[in-house]
Structure 1
Amino acid sequence: MPVQKVLVVGGGITGSVLSLALARRGVRVDLVEISPQWFGVGHGITVQGNALKALRSVGVLDRVLARAVPFDSMRLRRADGSLLTELPTPRTGGPDLPATAGALRADLQDALCDAVRAHGVRVRLGLSVARLGPPGGDRAEVTFTDGSTGTYDLVVGADGINSRMRELIGIAERPRPVGMSIFRVVAKRPPGMDCAEVYYGGPRFKAGYSPVSPDACYAYLLDENLDASLIGPRAPLALLRERGAGYGGMWGAILDALPEDTAVDYRWIEAVLVDGPWHRGRTLVIGDAAHACPPLIAQGAAMCTEDAVLLADLVCGEEPVERALESFMARRLPRVRMVLENSLRLADWEIHPGTPGADPARIMSETLASLVEAA
């Protein structure tokens, strides 16, 4: 019997897409989000074609593309800004969708939040799961952090790389540092920026940017892991200027033009893969809670949204829920493992320059080409 009542834990991109995909199929959905406020925040995001396909399936693509910037190629540059090559990007969402779109996370999340509420999902903020009942049977028992309880056909943890749900259902894997970090800013979009560009060969691992709206761009710098006390949304702009010195071209111009009150987000990059079943009885984790990779192929949002749409398809189908979850794992694990392993390989090549046989352009192109096949 298809599921009729589902709890989604986490109101980010993954949880929102899953809630929409289920609600559009007539499922009663409760969504709990630990934050007391629920709206779009953060920097820019690169949304590949397979993620755009998922967004179209839950009815929010037109609103997202109204503000986003679509493009079908990326350019690789030397640190001084001179061109190395331009690579066409495979249309992983199909020929009728852009290969890629740059978007503000705020624009994407706001579109999802509005759609979730419009489809009758019961949203409860400032709340998460404290305890789960014992696995087994055809229902999942939940105790929330406010002491209230609930019973569901399925409970899905979509609560990110530092997932509490992963721990609650007894999965031992934890995120680990990759060995690189990232500075991120949203800046004024310069004239002439029409696609993502990446700068190699400079003093850090690499720098890059992408247009994310008609007037904004997302710029980043990949660096070694600096002091952990810097981690957060307000790293010093002076530090970014210091670490980013040595890159020219448009990236250098963006850095030089940043206002002194620019919000600089700094994070160590971590990875995790639950390399086995993501479910225990009627509970499971998906998205970054089950697999999170370095952002070197820009497939993070795509892998998460693919999870959400496929899970909704399967648990609302004719198979018993337990078998639907097995089918879900059989289809998802090989695909996300491939993306994660290739992303980690790219990170290793960045950390260890001069590695024999290193060919980032080939790995990126081959990975995206393999994702043209439907999830």
Structure 2
Amino acid sequence: MTPPRTVLVVGGGAAGNAVTILLRRAGIAVDLVEAKDDWNATAGSGITLQGNALRVLRELGVWEQVQASGFAFGSVGITAPDGTVLHVQRDLRTGGDDLPATLGMQRPRLQGILIEAVRASGARVRLGTRAESLVQDGDGVDVRFTDGTAGRYDLVIAADGLGSTTRAAIGITAKPEPTGMAIWRVAAPRPAGVVRTDLAYGGPAYIAGYCPTSDTTLYAYVVEANRDRAAIPPESYADEMLRLARSYGGFWPEITAHITDPAEVNYTWFDRLLVEGSWHRGRVVLVGDAAHCCPPTLAQGAALSLEDAWVLTQMLTGAGTWDDALLQAYYERRVGRVRPVVEASVQLGQWQLDGVRDADVPGLMGRTMTMLRELP
């Protein structure tokens, strides 16, 4: 009898949790290690999930919980800095007509739902643990962990994010690069009139926007040119975001009234990454932000990561042999979809940095989102 296959998943974010759930459903033994003791259960303010992300969450069996926890909508508004609505555009349903076009939710709630599903799957989870060394041969990977234990696996899936140490450990030298923009984010109560994402272009920031995340909450953000993070004291974060946000009208005065605690404000640079050539070395393969990331201008980061998990699991469970050809085919299948999203996301920001006034923003967004309606 052939022994059951074993997989190590490194990283417990969206991609790592998703691939763990799907592999366990297929009867594959999975160990998941996550460096953070709290499993990132409280990190982040909000997240915008397009239909193609919701499609994968439905495959994971968590769509009902996500739907009940978030706020679904089907359009985006463009406003002047004073809050005047200039245009309302219906969103394309990239997950199919039976799912909302977009759903906003609190990021910790999404992580909590995925954590519950991983626990229920029967995967063995260890928190506060990293993969310290990986030694491969033709049949598997020997891994030593920071807690002093060791294990042998048929495959290692690196889902340890943008700063992936696993990516570097297997000799992939690609690193994330800043795009020149940065974003301030905060969670706040939802004014009753906020029923979709609204975006204001111009004013003191490149973009000022918000997204409803439940019946009672939203997350708001302002985008500016990136600055030296070391020169911005964390205790000034609320003041820095207020300085940019208080000039905007419409619902913004209600939102800015709640930007008071610097510990609740998040500041992040926009980065881009696309690992070229392959996303694996031997029996170690990358998924999610470890392989690619893009600015949130199209709100596709989590969606692409979830798709990676879904596609990789389909290919692994449908193959008799896990070899180089299979993992290269995974890369080839994904890169043709991921590259245009990364490039479009970066281009949308670059047009703003360059002050291009006649850029075909609707056309680029429309072409990209139409492509994403197709199954990954």
TM-score category by the smaller chain? over 0.9
Counterpart residue number, 1:187: 188
- The C-alpha deviation readout for 1:96-155, integer Å capped at 9, x for no partner, is 111110010111000000110111010001101111104x41211111112321111110
Equivalent residue for 1:328, pick from 330, 342, 345: 330
Q: Is the 8 A contact 1:231 1:268 kept in 2?
A: no
Q: Which deviates more from structure 2 when the two are superposed, residues 233-242 or residues 8-17?
A: 233-242
Tell me the equivalent position of 2:82. 80
- Alignment map for 1:46-61 (pairs within 5 Å): 46-61=48-63
CA contact (8 A) 2:13 2:111 kept: yes
Higher mean displacement: 310-319 or 272-281: 310-319
Which amino acid in the other structure matches residue 90 of structure 1? L
TM-superposed deviation, 1:227? 2.8
Q: Deviations over 1:262-296 (max 9, x none)?
A: 61111111111101201011101110010000000
Match in the other structure for 1:361: 362
Q: Is the 8 A contact 2:105 2:214 kept in 1?
A: yes
Per the alignment, residue 342 of structure 1 pairs with 344
**Are residues 1:271 and 2:272 paired?**
yes
Instruction: Name the SS for the 2:157 alignment partner.
Output: strand
- Contact 1:182-1:269 within 8 A present in 2 as well: yes
> 1:208 and 1:97 mapped to 2: Cα distance?
23
- CA drift of 1:260 comes to 4.6
Q: Secondary structure at the match of 1:277?
A: coil
User: Does the Cα contact within 8 Å between 1:2 and 1:316 map onto a contact in 2?
Assistant: no
User: What is the match of residue 70 of structure 1?
Assistant: 72
Contact persistence 1:89–1:365 (CA under 8 A): no
SS of equivalent residue, structure 1 residue 343: helix
Structure 1: segments with no counterpart, 5+ residues: none
Map 1:252-267; keep pairs closer than 5 Å.
Answer: 252-260=253-261, 263-267=264-268
Q: SS of the counterpart of 2:143?
A: strand
* Pair 276,133 (structure 1): closer, same or farther in 2 beyond 3 Å: same
Q: Deviation at 1:81?
A: 1.1
Distance of 1:113 and 1:258 partners within structure 2 = 29
Q: 1:71 to 1:307 in 2, by over 3 A?
A: same
Q: Go from structure 1 to structure 2 and tell me whether the alpha carbon gap of 1:233 and 1:47 turns closer, same or farther (over 3 Å shift).
A: farther
SS in 1 for 2:335: helix
The aligned counterpart of 1:168 is 169
- What are the equivalent positions in structure 2 for 1:293-332 lying under 5 Å apart? 293-322=294-323, 323-332=325-334
1:68-217 counterparts in 2 under 5 A? 68-134=70-136, 136-217=137-218
114 and 231 in structure 1: CA distance in 2 versus 1, 3 angstrom threshold: farther
Counterpart-to-counterpart distance in 1, 2:54 and 2:152:
33
The CA distance in 2 between the partners of 1:2 and 1:248, in whole Å, is 63
| Closer, same or farther: CA 343–259 of 1 in aligned 2, 3 Å | same
Q: Is the 8 A contact 1:2 1:318 kept in 2?
A: no
Alignment of 1:42 with 2:21, yes or no, is: no
Alpha-carbon distance in structure 1 between the residues aligned to 2:233 and 2:346: 23
**In the alignment, is the contact (CA less than 8 A) between 1:199 and 1:207 conserved in 2?**
yes
How high is the sequence identity, in percent, across the aligned residues?
A: 43
Return the offset for 1:243.
2.2
**Partner-residue secondary structure (3-state), 2:251:** helix
Deviation at 1:307, TM superposition (A): 0.1
Instruction: Using the TM superposition, give the Cα deviation of residue 325 of structure 1 relative to its aligned residue in structure 2, in angstroms.
Output: 1.3
Q: Does the Cα contact within 8 Å between 2:351 and 2:359 map onto a contact in 1?
A: yes
Judge conservation of contact 1:232–1:265 (CA < 8 Å) in 2. Answer: no
1:247 equivalent in alignment to 2:251: no
* Residue 231 (structure 1) shift: 6.7
Residues 317, 130 of structure 1: alpha-carbon distance in 2 compared, 3 angstrom cutoff:
same
1:288 correspondence with 2:299: no
Secondary structure in 2 matching 1:271: strand
> Structure 2: how far apart are the matches of 1:3 and 1:328?
22
Cα RMSD between the aligned structures? Answer: 1.8
Amino acid at match of 2:59: S
Instruction: Tell me by how many angstroms 1:226 deviates.
Output: 2.1
Q: Structure 2 unaligned runs (5+)?
A: none
The CA distance in 2 between the partners of 1:140 and 1:180, in whole Å, is 39
Q: TM-score, normalised by structure 1?
A: 0.95
- State how far apart, in whole Å, the 1-side matches of 2:233 and 2:135 are: 35
